[in-house]
Amino acid sequence: MDVLTETLRTQLLERKQRLNRVVPSADDNNLLSLLRQVDSALERLDQGSFGICEVCQGAIEPERLLANPLVRTCLEDLDRHEQEALERDLDLVAQVQQKLLPPRHQQLDGWEVCLDYKPFRVASGDYCDVIAGSDVINVLLGDVSGKGVAASMLVANLHGLFRTLLPDGCNLAASLARANRIFSESTIVSHYATLLAMRADTGGRLALANAGHCTPYLISQGQVVPLPSTSLPLGVFADATFQVSELQMKPGDALFAYTDGLSEARNTSEEEYGAVRLEEWLQSACGLAPDELVKGCLSDLEAFRSSTGLSDDLSILLLKRR
């Protein structure tokens, strides 16, 4: 909680400075009220009562404090009007996230991309995008630590970063290093993002960087080959570098990627779906068309997991050379 507290203290002090610059020249009761709320939040931080619900004395959800450090009650103790306002805000967050998603199935420059994206809650911490460049396509799948609104805000941050950086022609390693520096400066120490970044060209070459993400699988000529992570997640160290490997994909070859909502799903015996079962299933299904393979994987997961066995956002992606 110390890192979160200091981050929120910095946010509140910055808000106070901005308000103090505006309030003397603006006769606005709303601005004065905001300044009083910020001062009150800073007092609670000094007194050690910040983040404690004023109704039940329990802890306020950290993701809500990150989104708005002025909140004073936990979710369970919101009144009806506050709950309705929060539900409207969350619905808007979900709508924005859906707008940021690429099409579920598309064909670009000799490649086919098929994906499925299932938020565990209204807002998701999974990141997925397909960005067309000059004679290449960039395919990204990531997972921001944590859940809820705070994670979804960082997903939007990644979306904007890579939409800006990847089409500019820089090599993949350089683009990831720049994105990592910016991401490290815009998030708190306890938050990071795993990321699988792929750049595919019209000749079948695939550049691949795995920054701490779940192991993807190369599906080629009936074989399923794991491709382990080679770099740290984004946001861990601002000056991190990222290794990029290259594959020559033949027509029919594919790369299967996912987030840990798949591998960590549990059955009634509390056993995880796991990498071994996933690899065995892929081996049996490697001849399927991309959309059939994604649907089949989800069906196998549903047959395995219990009704309460899914506890995280879930995304699956297949990139195949046509």
Name the token pair of 112: 């086919």
| CATH of region 104-321, choose from 3.60.40.10, 3.30.56.10, 2.60.40.1180, 3.30.2090.10 | 3.60.40.10
Strand, helix or coil at 131?
A: strand
DSSP letter string, 241-286: ----EEEEPPTT-EEEEE-HHHHT-B-TT--B-HHHHHHHHHHHHT
135-175 pLDDT per residue, tens: 899 999 999 987 777 788 889 999 999 999 998 667 899 99
The band of 22, judged by pLDDT with boundaries at 50, 70 and 90, is confident
Name the token pair of 32: 């004065």
| CATH of region 2-78, choose from 3.30.70.270, 1.10.357.10, 2.40.40.20, 1.20.120.910 | 1.20.120.910
Which amino acid, one-letter code, is at 66?
L
Taking residues 202-214, report their average pLDDT: 96
Are 226 and 259 in contact, with CB atoms under 8 Å apart?
no
Q: What is the pLDDT of residue 26?
A: 57
Are 196 and 210 in contact, with CB atoms under 8 Å apart?
yes
244-273 pLDDT per residue, tens: 999 999 999 999 999 999 999 999 999 999
Residue 1 confidence (pLDDT) above 60:
no
Segments of the chain assigned to CATH 3.60.40.10: 104-321
Residue 299 to residue 284: CA distance in whole angstroms: 14
51 Cβ contact list (under 8 Å, min separation 6): 1, 5, 44, 59, 60, 62, 65
Residue 129 to residue 38: CA distance in whole angstroms: 37
Residue 188 to residue 230: CA distance in whole angstroms: 23
Residue 166 to residue 70: CA distance in whole angstroms: 36
266-308 pLDDT per residue, tens: 999 999 999 999 999 999 999 999 999 999 999 999 999 999 9
Segments of the chain assigned to CATH 1.20.120.910: 2-78
Residue 95 to residue 76: CA distance in whole angstroms: 24
Strands 126-132 and 136-144: antiparallel
Q: What is the pLDDT of residue 293?
A: 97
Phi, psi at residue 155, to the nearest 5°? -60, -45
Residue 207 to residue 201: CA distance in whole angstroms: 9
Q: What is the pLDDT of residue 170?
A: 77
The band of 193, judged by pLDDT with boundaries at 50, 70 and 90, is very high
